[in-house]
Amino acid sequence: MNHYLFVCMAAAIASAFVASTHVNGQVRGEARTQVRGREGTVPPRPIRPPAIRERTATSPSSFRFDGTPEPPELADAELFTPEEQRNIAVYERTNRSVVNIMTRTVRPDFMFHIEVAEGSGSGSILDTRGHILTNLHVIEGAREIRVTLHTGAVYEASFVGEDPLNDIAVLKIDAPQADLYPVALGDATGLRVGQRIYALGNPFGLERTLTTGIISSLNRTLPSRNERKMKSIIQIDAALNRGNSGGPLLNSRGQLIGMNTAIASTTGENTGVGFAIPVSTIRRVIPQLIQNGRVVRPDIGIVAVHTDRGLVIGRLTRGGPGERAGLQGFRLIREQMQRGPYLYERTRVDQSSADAILAVDGQPVQSRDDFHTAIERKKPGEDATLTISRQGKTRDVKIRLEPTR
């Protein structure tokens, strides 16, 4: 027992001695530091507890619901991926160039009562004079057209011109130039399948909505009017819905490369197959619509018809280029028939005398659309050479084209 007490007392004395030595050494060390500081060799560095340290750029600026600090705020380069940064840049550059188009149409219903129908679509600002690009089907038959800018201001729009063949129309609003941000027109010649694209519009009236996707295919065709087809159509997988028609299709530089015009769907809603009119067509058509209100195309004065003999001339415009060149169409033959005491007269169409159209400028044509497309590549006043077949013999006929009337 006495031995145990002796051990405990020895341990206590040793602990007290060590503590005293540590404190004295610390005080002497601080004194030496202060002395060296006064001599200018090593300046003193005050020690502050973490709770009162100054905030740095990496310090948290707010706290979570449970009281724990949030991570520090990040710069844009850290917040967004390069793809997201590109999406943001395209939207910020172009969204003010997109307008919302509201239409009001008056039509009789099945009981012959007057019915007012409203529609909506999208458009792009072309210039600071207030010209707006959109689809013809967006505003066709409308009694009232209203255009809403990015500022929220609403303007009555006047009709400028239309091209039914390509479903293109131009409107005009009287708005301050400071509120008009024209869209930049790009180039469609370098488009590639798989290229990133952006669609801007107003689906279901939700203004300036951005969707993204890729070009799914090129050089598609869409049915147009008078058994014609729209050419070089761009197929995309970006989401398009009702109200997107007339809005711009953009590349990654924020340039307009097409105008969204249709979707392939059995329900009327987006199925991932959309179509856009290429900017090459828009560039060709828009100046004529602004200047003339219509597209002045070359006219050859021929109505072509597809028969079992292929493409033949059905009718010639009287005094037109085709008739002056000596071409032949269907002949109307009047015949008299005797039936008992009565004499009847009838008219039949003789197709055998009609010239068959084989080619235009050496390029074979097999349909009406092929024929008219070949002619429309030219300008009024230029010549087109038709290769025709007449009674089994082939010949070339040069024809001077005239402007459409």
- Chain segment 295-327, per-residue pLDDT in tens: 999 999 999 988 888 899 999 999 999 999 999
Per-residue model confidence (pLDDT) at position 347: 75
Does residue 200 carry a pLDDT above 70?
yes
The whole-model pTM stands at: 0.72
For the chain, where do the domains classified as CATH 2.30.42.10 start and end? 298-403
pLDDT of residue 270: 72
> Do the Cβ atoms of 249 and 256 come closer than 8 Å?
yes
Q: Out of 137, 252, 280, 361, which one is annotated catalytic?
A: 137
* Helix residue ranges per DSSP H, 217-301: 279-292
Element (H, E) at 118: strand 114-125
Residue 3 appears among annotated catalytic residues? no
Angstrom distance (rounded) from CA 361 to CA 396? 9
Catalytic (active site) residue 167? yes
Residue 360 pLDDT class (50, 70, 90 cuts): very high
Burial class (CB in 10 A: 0-12, 13-18, 19+), 285: buried
Q: What is the mean pLDDT of residues 269-274?
A: 80
Distance CA 22, CA 20 (A): 5
Closest to 103 in 3D by CA, of 64, 66, 144, 161 = 144
Question: In this prediction, what percent of the chain has a pLDDT beyond 90?
Answer: 52
**Which one of 97, 237, 245, 370 is the catalytic residue?**
245
pLDDT bucket at 334, cuts 50 / 70 / 90: confident
Instruction: Provide the pLDDT for residue 28.
Output: 41
Spell out the alpha helix ranges (H) of 224-362. 279-292, 321-324
Position 350 pLDDT exceeds 60: yes
- 153 Cβ partners below 8 Å, 6+ apart? 175, 179
Q: Which of 239, 127, 238, 236 is nearest to 185 (CA)?
A: 127
CB contact at 8 A, 305 and 172: no
Task: Check residue 241 and give its pLDDT.
Answer: 87
Q: Which CATH class is domain 96-179?
A: mainly beta
Cα–Cα distance, 199 to 382 (Å, whole number): 38
User: At residue 184, does pLDDT exceed 90?
Assistant: yes
pLDDT at 8 over 50: no
Q: Are strands 274-278 and 255-263 parallel, antiparallel or unpaired?
A: antiparallel
Residues with Cβ within 8 Å of 267's Cβ and at least 6 positions away in sequence, in order, are none
At residue 73, the pLDDT reads: 66
Give yes or no for residue 34 having a pLDDT over 50: no
pLDDT the model gives residue 349 = 78
42 band by pLDDT with thresholds 50, 70 and 90: very low
Q: Is 41 exposed, middle or buried (0-12, 13-18, 19+ CB in 10 A)?
A: exposed
H or E stretch at 218: strand 209-223
Q: How far apart are CA 29 and CA 395, in angstroms?
A: 115
Retrieve residue 196's tokens.
């990133």
- Other C-beta atoms closer than 10 Å to the C-beta of 326 total 9
Tell me how far apart the alpha carbons of residues 191 and 171 are, in angstroms, rounded to a whole number: 28
Res 22 pLDDT > 60: no
Catalytic residue among 97, 163, 167, 369: 167
Give the separation between CA 98 and CA 244, rounded to whole angstroms: 11
Q: State how far the Cα of 120 lies from the Cα of 115, in Å rounded to an integer.
A: 17
* CATH architecture, domain defined by 298-403: Roll (2.30)
Tell me which architecture the domain covering 184-292 has in CATH. Beta Barrel (2.40)
Please report which confidence band the pLDDT of residue 109 belongs to, taking 50, 70 and 90 as the band edges. low
Q: Give mean pLDDT, residues 217-242.
A: 89
Contact 169, 162 (CB under 8 A): yes
Which residue, chain included where needed, has tokens 């910020």? 92
Whether 76 sits among the annotated catalytic residues: the reply is: no
What is the location of CATH 2.40.10.10 in the chain? 96-179, 184-292
Higher pLDDT, 188 or 181: 181
Name the residue with tokens 């002949």.
331
pLDDT surpassing 60 at residue 117: yes
